[in-house]
């Protein structure tokens, strides 16, 4: 069942859980993600990277059409979200069939971030009834020094103003995670005090966690009970898939082994997010 991200997140807020948003870059990963969600009867947000849908030509590209078809026939609610894009990408990718866009201008100064997101939110809502996510503070990369990552943590004093000014449907916050895989022996410590402060301010408004890979499961579990309603996961899924391929050592079809590795990590994480058994029907 293809739905908007707004609909999925409204259910998640009410139930106080988070929905898995696996990064998918090809048909194998789309199928593996949907299979995991169906196995656990969980709603799902397919996060597709901007570049995977990008087209200079008018009309939907095959990836968008394929994802919509798979989402429509899935037994669980599925949203298709364009991850980390800009205004121009959003316009193009909405035509490729996504039901949500993330407009990430979090590296810009505050007022410029608002202006870029507001423009994208208007076109997403008015022209297409598509949901929109934006980021306040900045979730960096694991190669950043911890000092840089700290500097990008979301300022709770800006949160309500940002939501009101932009008209977004979900807010990604920076509370100590980073994109990518951490060097061996390094793991993040989430700023739960900051999360609690932000959740108290926003009430029923959905919050998103990016860069979840490498975060200890107990911290993810806690964050998903404290107001995080969408967890983006990419690197850990790719790692699990390729670990399975290496372990198989050439035995079995590559696509099947890769699928199993990708899916098994998601099946492990969905109950930690709390969204297992939370699918609904119309």
Active-site residue numbers?
Answer: 83
Residue with Cβ nearer Zn ion (210 or 230): 210
**CA–CA distances in Å: residue 244 to residues 39, 46, 76, 248, 257:** 20, 22, 26, 6, 6
Contacts of 167 (CB under 8 A, 6+ apart): 118, 121, 122, 125, 132
Residue with Cβ nearer Zn ion (106 or 259): 106
Provide the sign of the torsion angle of the four alpha carbons 143, 145, 146, 149, taken in this order: negative
Residue with Cβ nearer Zn ion (199 or 210): 210
263 binds Zn ion (CB under 5 A): no
> What minimum distance in Å lies between the beta carbon of 173 and Zn ion?
12
| DSSP code of residue 188 | -
Site for Zn ion in 75-114 (CB under 5 A): none
> What minimum distance in Å lies between the beta carbon of 44 and Zn ion?
17
> What minimum distance in Å lies between the beta carbon of 69 and Zn ion?
26
- Return the residue nearest Zn ion (CB atom): 210
CA–CA separation, 162 and 65 (whole Å): 33
Find how far residue 233's CA is from the centre of its chain.
7
x/- track of binding to Zn ion for residues 175-214 (CB under 5 A): -----------------------------------x----
CA–CA separation, 159 and 201 (whole Å): 8
| DSSP code of residue 135 | E
Residue with Cβ nearer Zn ion (15 or 180): 180
> What minimum distance in Å lies between the beta carbon of 213 and Zn ion?
10
| DSSP code of residue 180 | S
Burial (Cβ within 10 Å: 0-12, 13-18, ≥19) of residue 212:
buried
**How many residues at the interface with Zn ion, by CB under 5 A?**
1
Residue with Cβ nearer Zn ion (210 or 265): 210
> What minimum distance in Å lies between the beta carbon of 282 and Zn ion?
30
**CA–CA distances in Å: residue 173 to residues 158, 263, 274:** 11, 26, 19
Per CB under 5 A, residues contacting Zn ion are 210
């Amino acid at each position: 069942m293809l739905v908007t991200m707004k609909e999925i997140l409204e259910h998640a807020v009410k139930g106080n859980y988070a929905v898995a948003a696996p990064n998918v870059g090809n048909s194998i990963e789309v199928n593996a993600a949907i299979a995991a969600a169906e196995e656990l009867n969980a709603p799902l947000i397919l996060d597709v990277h901007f570049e995977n849908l990008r087209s200079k030509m008018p009309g939907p590209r095959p990836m968008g059409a394929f994802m919509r078809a798979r989402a429509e026939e899935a037994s669980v609610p599925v949203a298709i979200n364009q991850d980390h894009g800009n205004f121009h990408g959003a316009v193009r990718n909405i035509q490729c069939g996504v039901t949500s866009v993330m407009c990430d201008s979090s590296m810009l100064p505050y007022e410029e971030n608002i202006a870029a997101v507001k423009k994208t939110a208007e076109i997403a809502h008015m022209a297409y009834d598509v949901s929109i996510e934006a980021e306040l503070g900045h979730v960096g990369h694991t190669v950043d020094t911890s000092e840089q990552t700290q500097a990008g943590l979301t300022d709770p004093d800006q949160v309500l103003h940002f939501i009101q000014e932009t008209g977004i449907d979900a807010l990604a916050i920076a509370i100590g995670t980073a994109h990518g895989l951490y060097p061996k022996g390094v793991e993040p410590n989430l700023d739960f005090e900051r999360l609690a402060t932000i959740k108290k301010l926003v009430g029923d408004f959905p919050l998103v966690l990016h860069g979840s890979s490498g975060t200890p499961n107990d911290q993810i579990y806690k964050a998903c009970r404290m107001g995080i309603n969408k967890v983006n996961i990419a690197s850990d899924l790719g790692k699990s898939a390729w670990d399975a391929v290496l372990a198989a050592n050439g035995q079995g079809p590559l696509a099947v082994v890769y699928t199993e590795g990708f899916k098994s990590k998601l099946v492990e994480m969905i109950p930690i997010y709390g969204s297992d058994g939370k699918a609904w029907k119309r």
